[in-house]
A and B are shown apart, each in its own frame.
Chain A
Amino acid sequence: SQQGEEDPQALSIQEGENATMNCSYKTSINNLQWYRQNSGRGLVHLILIRSNEREKHSGRLRVTLDTSKKSSSLLITASRAADTASYFCATLAGGTSYGKLTFGQGTILTVHP
């Protein structure tokens, strides 16, 4: 069954604005990862946040994790047209899960120049 649900399903903003995407999951996790997928391409890893971490930054990206609410958010600041892509969260379950990532359905982000 699908682990994560992402919200919103689609987001349309102007260049320079911030974009926030949310992810909820159901079971306990080892870590949560965010990936980007450009049209016709494979997924590219953005950030990994472990279950004992609450916030991580990478350049213009900020990820938060609230394990009590089983939710995470990805903030992209000062967005650019090149940020236009689908964004997926993926969870690695706690315990022995052998790299079995469970993906959400993704948020389609469109950044208008």
Chain B
Amino acid sequence: DTAVSQTPKYLVTQMGNDKSIKCEQNLGHDTMYWYKQDSKKFLKIMFSYNNKELIINETVPNRFSPKSPDKAHLNLHINSLELGDSAVYFCASSSSTGDQPQHFGDGTRLSIL
């Protein structure tokens, strides 16, 4: 069984479009995260939710909007996609707000044409 699953795995779209990435975890964790990994493999946190409440909101353009309908799901919606948004986006989860290992999904590779 997949612990943290993201869909879609690949997303190819035009500049200016709006897209969403979905994430689900079946580990019973109460904290979920979104990370962005650039072409140089640098990984940076974007958002974190604990029990559906936003607790980390890094300096990310407001075109990016996370939504957590429940503890097991965290989605990422991106408006007006730009070329610089091309990256791999990872969802992760953990059992507490930071002191525990994080479990990652396999990523969504977003390519902007």
Partner pick for B41 among A30, A86, A100, CB 8 A cutoff: A86
**B33 x A99 contact (CB < 8 A):** yes
Residues of the B chain whose Cβ atoms lie less than 8 Å from the Cβ of A97: 98
Q: Mark B78-92, 1 if CB is under 8 A from A, else 0.
A: 000000000000101
Of A19-27, A40-48, A61-69, A72-80, the segment with at least 4 beta carbons within 8 Å of chain B is A40-48
Which residues, 31 to 67 on B, are CB-close (under 8 Å) to A?
31, 33, 40-45, 48, 50, 55-56
**A99 x B98 contact (CB < 8 A):** yes
Tell me the minimal C-beta distance from A90 to chain B in angstroms: 8
**B56 x A30 contact (CB < 8 A):** no
User: B residues bordering A, Cβ < 8 Å?
Assistant: 4, 31, 33, 40-45, 48, 50, 55-56, 90, 92, 94, 96-107
Tell me the minimal C-beta distance from B54 to chain A in angstroms: 10
Residues of the A chain whose Cβ atoms lie less than 8 Å from the Cβ of B43: 43, 88, 103
Residues of the A chain whose Cβ atoms lie less than 8 Å from the Cβ of B106: 40-42
A-side binding surface: helix, strand, loop or mixed?
A: strand
**B4 x A42 contact (CB < 8 A):** yes
How many angstroms from the CA of A4 to the CA of B100 in the assembled complex?
A: 19
Partner pick for B31 among A37, A99, A102, CB 8 A cutoff: A99
How many angstroms from the CA of A92 to the CA of B41 in the assembled complex?
A: 19
What total of chain A residues lie within 8 Å of the partner, measured CB to CB?
Answer: 25
Partner pick for A98 among B4, B40, B55, B105, CB 8 A cutoff: B55
13 A/B residue pairs, CB under 8 Å, sorted by A: A37-B41, A42-B106, A44-B104, A45-B102, A48-B100, A98-B97, A98-B98, A99-B33, A99-B98, A100-B98, A103-B42, A103-B44, A105-B42
Partner pick for B56 among A43, A99, A103, CB 8 A cutoff: A99
Residues of the B chain whose Cβ atoms lie less than 8 Å from the Cβ of A33: 101-102
